[in-house]
Amino acid sequence: MDDRIIALETRDVRFPLPAGAGSDAVHSGSDYAFATSLLMTEGKKFGTGIVLTLGNGNQLVCRAIEMLAREVIGREVEELMSNFGEISRQLANDPQLRWLGPHKGVVHLALASVTNACFDLWAKLRGVPLWRLLLDLNPQQLVNLLDLSYLEDVLTSADALSILENQMSGRAARERIMQQGYPGYDTSVGWFQYGDDKVKSLAQQALQRGFRAFKLKVGSEEGSRDLRRAFMLRELAGSDAMIMLDANQQWTLPTAVRICRELAAMKPYFVEEPTHPDDIAAHKKLADAIAPTRIALGEHVPNRVMFKNMMQAGAVHFVQVDC
């Protein structure tokens, strides 16, 4: 069969960044690196999957991809994707590699790259963009793509199916987003190592291009720097602009409470990763202490179980499942 997966290739792809670009309170001097999975079928179709790292360690993810993706070699793509939730569960629960997580770190990044390659290959074989393929699936087919293990106390497969089926009647009213699109925000104006003048210049350029939403990196050793830059951007962008603040896990809980209260007057849309991403109790205490300022998490919340606990605790308002 032309759609049988016969080979895997990994690529360690790295892009050096200009000085200061990509910097935050914790990470600096980084590359934008991609641990890339390439799956090939008998018919010479390729599916590409990527995950982001910051350079050093990208090779570890590539090696993990090679070990994990062996399980999809020899499978026909349509058969693979018809029950991908179960396949995903099996890959994540590799009887030896699971010890290195479970469901987090290098192994989980590798799984994400392989998963992305499988979905990309599926869409290419069907000859449609992936977003179109997913929209054309019925609720049961969508549920079959999901691994909901360890969520059964809050969301079973039957629950997920019911949610999707109940929302189908209102689908036509939501389809206008396909013509309008979603507004974007600009992170590049506010990298941590950028000086005030550069932040101002880049923000002005973004405003001229039509952006009305921005992200600013915070988490300075001197809290006064964060306050100055945040209020500076608010004054420049105007009261109607959306400004998101990202501390990249830098603050302790006491520092986060103090700084977020001082930042409240500039009305941030949310504060992202204010403290250690595993500390559910600290995020809950912070959420209560700084309300109505809201908290965003996800970049380093490693798996669905942690998200479940964060949500049940009322410790997060914006779930960013991007990693």
Sequential DSSP letters for 3-72: TBEEEEEEEEEEEE--TTTT--SS--S-EEEEEEEEEEETT--EEEEEEEE-STTHHHHHHHHHHHGGGG
In this prediction, residue 29 carries a pLDDT of 86
Distance of CA 104 to the CA centre of its chain: 14
pLDDT at position 1: 56
The span from the CA of 150 to the CA of 156, in Å, is 9
Angle between helices 304-313 and 280-290 (to 10 degrees): 40
| Strand-strand pairing, 31-41 and 5-16 | antiparallel
Distance CA 51, CA 214 (A): 24
Q: Are the C-beta atoms of residues 209 and 181 closer than 8 Å to each other? A: no
139: preceding bond cis by omega (within 30 degrees): no
Burial class (CB in 10 A: 0-12, 13-18, 19+), 121: buried
Instruction: Identify the pLDDT of residue 30.
Output: 87
Return d(Cα 313, Cα 143) in angstroms, integer. 26
pLDDT of the chain, 323 residues: tens digit per residue: 589 999 999 999 999 999 999 999 999 888 999 999 999 999 999 999 999 999 999 999 999 999 999 999 999 999 999 999 999 999 999 999 999 988 999 999 999 999 999 999 999 999 999 999 999 999 999 999 999 999 999 999 999 999 999 999 999 999 999 999 988 999 999 999 999 999 999 999 999 999 999 999 999 999 999 999 999 999 999 999 999 999 999 999 999 999 999 999 999 999 999 999 999 999 999 999 999 999 999 989 999 999 999 999 999 999 998 74
Measured from the Cβ of residue 3, the count of other Cβ atoms closer than 10 Å reads 18
Q: Strand 46-53 and strand 31-41: pairing?
A: antiparallel
Q: What would the CATH number be for the domain defined by 184-319?
A: 3.20.20.120
Q: Confirm if 230 and 261 have CB atoms less than 8 A apart.
A: no
Compute the 3-state secondary structure of the chain and give helix, strand, coil in percent, each to the nearest 5: 45, 15, 35
How far is the CA of 118 from the CAs of 2, 90, 113, 195, 251, in angstroms?
Answer: 15, 15, 9, 42, 38
Q: Which regions of the chain carry the CATH code 3.20.20.120?
A: 184-319
**pLDDT of amino acid 11:** 98
Distances (CA, A) of 7 to 35, 79, 206: 17, 17, 43
Measured from the Cβ of residue 138, the count of other Cβ atoms closer than 10 Å reads 12
3-state SS class at 141: helix
Q: Which CATH class is domain 5-173?
A: alpha beta
**Which two tokens mark 158?**
């039957």
d(C-alpha 254, C-alpha 257), whole Å: 5
Angle value at C-alpha 299, between 305 and 49, nearest 5 degrees: 95
